[in-house]
Amino acid sequence: MQSSEQPAILSLFPEGSSVVDGEIAISGVHASDLAAAYGTPAYIVDESALRQRIRHYRDGLSLRWPNSRVYFASKAFPATAVYQVMSEEGIGIDVAGGGELVMALAGGADPRDILVHGNAKTDSDLKMVLDAGVGLIIVDNLHEVDQLTALVQGTQDVLVRIRPNVDTDTHEAMSTGHGDSKFGMGPEETRRAIDMIQRSKDLRLRGLHVHIGSQVFELDAFSESIKALSEFGEFEIYDLGGGLGERHSYDDPAVSVDDYLDAVVQAAKDFLPPSSRIILEPGRSLVARAGVTMYRVVNVKRGGKTLVAVDGGMADNLEVSLYGQRFEATLSNRFHGEELVSVVGRHCESGDELIDGVHLDSPAAGDLLLMPVTGAYCFTMANNYNGSLRLPVVFVSDGVPRLVVRRETYEDLLARDVLVPPLQPKR
């Protein structure tokens, strides 16, 4: 039976999560049942909530600017099953490497609905995407124009990425629109690239691209970047990037998808041709809230700072160590705790701390601990620290779970080794 009093942390869980019979249920399935079936740690994705967010973006943008298209910035969650969902929901895919391209195609993406990013595309990268027949390539630098000119057979549609010199209040590693960013080109190089492409018989310049970073809550910054696009003339397509921040903790501002769409479309109306096609590339804000990481508490150390050690850590969530990203957590069946603890991982690294300071209800070994808003970049940056096995991904929809990525095995860890026979002792 669903509890009438729902804990505050549910505001960070996938929409539709609830407390049923005293325990958190994700899309109708108790956390303990998921743990029993798939083990811990594990990434849980509410597929229903994910599809709902995709439709919110897709339909919301179309309503405001009919000549438009949403592309998933797939570096946020590059799993074949996620690409399949995106393709089924009718949005495009943005890839930034050969592996992402392979998974997107395996997930059913139409290559004509794929756009390609990257600040250092090699010739082999470009040959791969050209052979696949991708729809758009985002030209990041002048050398890339020469590369494409030498490799293209027939014609290829491209966009030019500008560097708008817009600073954002986000982590330095997530900021991509400032003047010294490694991505895109400044005004002089942009104009040269436009001229080179317009004179090319192999490349078709369809428009411009801009992206200012990730985890951005300042709507004015998006508007500034769109204004910067208008300085280079009128084009058929304007790719406005993505970057809307997602609320990971209670202290993060709540900026809705509708707030974001209103802001970028108003800026487009102010600065861009009314007949142009607009592209948006949401990543984090499309997938983050749909994901929950499920851990088992291994031990608790009290006396001074209380440390709750779980069976995962920086091998499955690098966001904390890399970006200082704040997360929240709760036990699966006790929600109103007053004990201030730090949640730490199991890896041999002092920096392996998932949350510094969170209130839990008398945590003990064996408890299930749930960390919401982990659907973006956690799977992406998963690693084998201390020989850890990368986590499974479980989709849940309307009470039915299904495994979409299995847990890694120790055999997987050895699969790529090329072993040299040991030297024989001299006789």
d(CA 9, CA 310): 19
pLDDT of 9 over the 70 cut: yes
**Confidence at residue 215, expressed as pLDDT on a 0 to 100 scale:** 85
pLDDT of 137 over the 90 cut: yes
Confidence of residue 372 (pLDDT cuts 50, 70, 90): very high
- Which one is predicted more confidently, 173 or 361? 361
Of the listed 348, 414, 418, 420, which one is catalytic? 348
Q: Hey, what amino acid is at 158?
A: V
pLDDT in tens, 302-330: 988 999 999 999 999 999 998 889 999 99
pLDDT of 270 over the 80 cut: yes
d(CA 159, CA 21): 53
**Confidence at residue 271, expressed as pLDDT on a 0 to 100 scale:** 96
DSSP assignment, residue 79? -
Degrees, nearest 5: CA angle 179-68-14: 85
The rounded mean pLDDT for the chain is: 94
d(CA 204, CA 222): 27
Reported pTM: 0.94
Which two structure tokens, joined as six digits, stand for 381? 């940056």
Tell me whether residue 422 is in a domain: no
pLDDT in tens, 147-200: 999 999 999 999 999 988 776 655 455 555 555 678 789 989 999 999 999 999
Confidence of residue 387 (pLDDT cuts 50, 70, 90): very high
Q: Hey, what amino acid is at 334?
A: R
DSSP assignment, residue 90? T
**Confidence at residue 3, expressed as pLDDT on a 0 to 100 scale:** 54
Residue 348: active-site member: yes
* Cis peptide preceding 253, ω within 30 of 0: no
CATH number of the domain at 316, please.
Answer: 2.40.37.10
pLDDT in tens, 36-82: 999 999 999 999 999 999 999 999 999 999 999 999 999 999 999 99
Rounded to a whole number, what is the distance in angstroms from the first to the last CA of the chain?
76
- Which one is predicted more confidently, 304 or 285? 285
d(CA 379, CA 394): 12
CATH number of the domain at 199, please.
Answer: 3.20.20.10
Last residue of a domain, one of 265, 286, 307: 286
**Confidence at residue 405, expressed as pLDDT on a 0 to 100 scale:** 98
**Confidence at residue 4, expressed as pLDDT on a 0 to 100 scale:** 55
Last residue of a domain, one of 240, 266, 286: 286
Among the ranges given (165-179, 242-256, 267-281), the one the predictor scored with the smallest mean pLDDT: 165-179
Last residue of a domain, one of 237, 258, 286: 286
Pairing of strands 393-397, 400-405: antiparallel
**Confidence at residue 422, expressed as pLDDT on a 0 to 100 scale:** 77
Question: Does residue 222 share a domain with residue 122?
Answer: yes
Distance of CA 207 to the CA centre of its chain: 25
pLDDT of 354 over the 60 cut: yes
Confidence of residue 135 (pLDDT cuts 50, 70, 90): very high
Boundaries of domain holding 202 = 48-286
Question: Does residue 230 share a domain with residue 202?
Answer: yes
Range 257-279 average pLDDT = 97
Question: Does residue 373 share a domain with residue 234?
Answer: no
Coil vs helix vs strand at 20: strand
Among the ranges given (124-128, 172-176, 336-340), the one the predictor scored with the smallest mean pLDDT: 172-176
Among the ranges given (179-193, 198-212, 250-264), the one the predictor scored with the smallest mean pLDDT: 179-193
Question: Does residue 31 share a domain with residue 171?
Answer: no
**Total tally of structural domains belonging to the chain:** 2
